[in-house]
Every structure is written in C-alpha cells, then in structure tokens.
Structure 1
Amino acid sequence: MSGLMKSAFQIRTDALCPPPRTRYRNRFTRRFYLLIADDGAQCELQGIDRRSTYASRDALANHEIWERIP
C-alpha cells in the first residue's frame, strides 16, 4: 500500500515544479513559443523575447503553419 501513496517530500517537490508548458514552432518564422494562456477559443503564445502573440485554436491546429513540439 505504500507504493500507492506519495511521500511528503515528493508532494512538496511536485508543488514546486510547475507542469511543462506546451511549445509550438511557427514554420514560417522558425520561432519557438510557449503556450501561456488558453481560454478555449484564443491562445496566448510567448516567444523567447517575452513578446506575446495570439492565435486561435483553429490556427494552432493548422499543421502547415504551427508545429507542436513534444
């Protein structure tokens, strides 16, 4: 039964480490972006220069423009 429960150390460590964010690459500009916010219709993507750009869910689903990075 101890294998099913997390230790206190593991719970604290998980709380300190945020979950990994989804990354996208624009195929035309070859820039990488992190998905910062998603309200269901529109997404905010932040580049390495900390500038935000916005794209709809439909635009991100277009694989000719955006590539999702695992």
Structure 2
Amino acid sequence: MPVAAAIPMSLVVVAVSSAAALVPRAGAGQIRWRIAGIFGLTGPVRPPPGPRSTASSTPAWPSPGSPC
C-alpha cells in the first residue's frame, strides 16, 4: 500500500477502534467527560516555537570531512 493511502487508512483504523472502546465505557460511566473535554481541546494546540525553529541555517557542529 502506498504511503499516501496508508496514513489516512491508519487514522481511520485508530478512530474506529477508539470509538468502539468508547461506547461500552461511556455506557458504564467510566469516562470523566470534563477531563476528556479539556484534554481534547488542548491536545491539538501547537506549542510555542522553540530554539530549533528560530536557529540559523548554519549547523552547530561541523559535518564530517569539513575543516574545523
């Protein structure tokens, strides 16, 4: 299977298996919906850029074979 098709297919598999596990747990009252909502809303938030994204294009270490 090509990668372009495998990635979306794996996401579908994860979504279906998660939904299948959610139904019995929700019916049994085993889910803390407030915590799940907080986690679900804050999970996709992108973290602030770190030093890698603001660093110059010059590598910190010389590559092998280059003069020091």
- TM-score of the superposed pair, with normalisation by structure 2: 0.27
Relative contact order, higher structure (CA 8 A, sep 6+): 1
The structure with the largest helix share of the pair is: 2
The structure with the largest strand share of the pair is: 1
Structure with greater Cα Rg = 2
- TM-score of the superposed pair, with normalisation by structure 1: 0.27
